[in-house]
Amino acid sequence: MTTPPPALARVRKLLALATSSNPHEAALAAARAQALIEAHRLQGWLDAEQEAAADPDPIEDARDEPLETARRIRKWKTVLANALAQANGCVAYTLDAGKMKSIVLVGRRRDREAVRTLWDWLVRRIEWLSATHGAGQDRQWHEAFRIGVVGAVAERLREAVAEAQEALPVRALVRVEPARAAHEQALERFVGEELELKRGRSIRVDLEAWRKGRAASDELELPGDDER
């Protein structure tokens, strides 16, 4: 299966509309987008229940399509990639290739495309939030602020996934569960057999800047559905 084009088209439209001067909209916009993505993922599993053929969208190591490649990957981007991957049935890891590093996704193409869509918008938005709130601050402050925003975004993503699942009728959710569990097992097996990933190091940040980043994401406003 692949993510239906209309699903990501709706997500991109929703994110494109979240461009007001209000600096506190990133987490809520991402959560609404994630809810749409999760609803289509659940529906896809329901539809696939009737299919006898093997899934044409297998789990892959997409190192040829990294989220980002740079000499140094910022900590906040690593945290963001992990949050988006977890919410969308993928695994994110950092690949070292000589002097360059890349953030790579493992998962089905439809899930990786969902991560990419959210990533492209959130990276720009979080950088804008940081510049707006931290004029004159040093790099360490901005790093901590951005990790704070990502923390709030990650919480909203988890809530959006849970709410999309709760919105599904109980009978449908029971039918979806085997497919979801099978995917999680397949992803874990792929990572265990195909990759040799090391545990990441803990991240230390400026606590006050981190708190401000969290606060900046907790005061979110977007136009209601009737205004979009």
Query: What are the pLDDT tens digits along the chain (228 aa)?
Result: 444 557 888 899 888 887 654 545 678 889 999 999 999 888 887 776 554 445 567 899 999 999 999 999 999 999 999 999 999 999 999 988 888 999 999 999 999 999 999 999 999 989 988 898 889 999 999 999 999 889 888 999 999 999 998 888 888 888 888 888 888 999 999 988 888 765 444 434 344 544 555 565 554 333 333 333
What domain range is 124 assigned to? 5-216
* Total domains present in the chain: 1
Q: How far apart are CA 160 and CA 181, in angstroms?
A: 19
Domain-located, residue 224: no
Q: What is the pTM of this model?
A: 0.81
Domain-located, residue 193: yes
Domain-located, residue 151: yes
Domain-located, residue 225: no
Domain-located, residue 112: yes
Q: How far apart are CA 224 and CA 210, in angstroms?
A: 29
Domain-located, residue 201: yes
Domain-located, residue 14: yes
In terms of Cα–Cα distance, which of 179, 185, 187 is closest to 107?
A: 187
Domain-located, residue 100: yes
Bridge partners of 91?
106
Residue 215: HSE in the Cβ half-sphere, 13 Å Cα cutoff:
7
Range list of H helices, 134-206: 139-166, 170-194
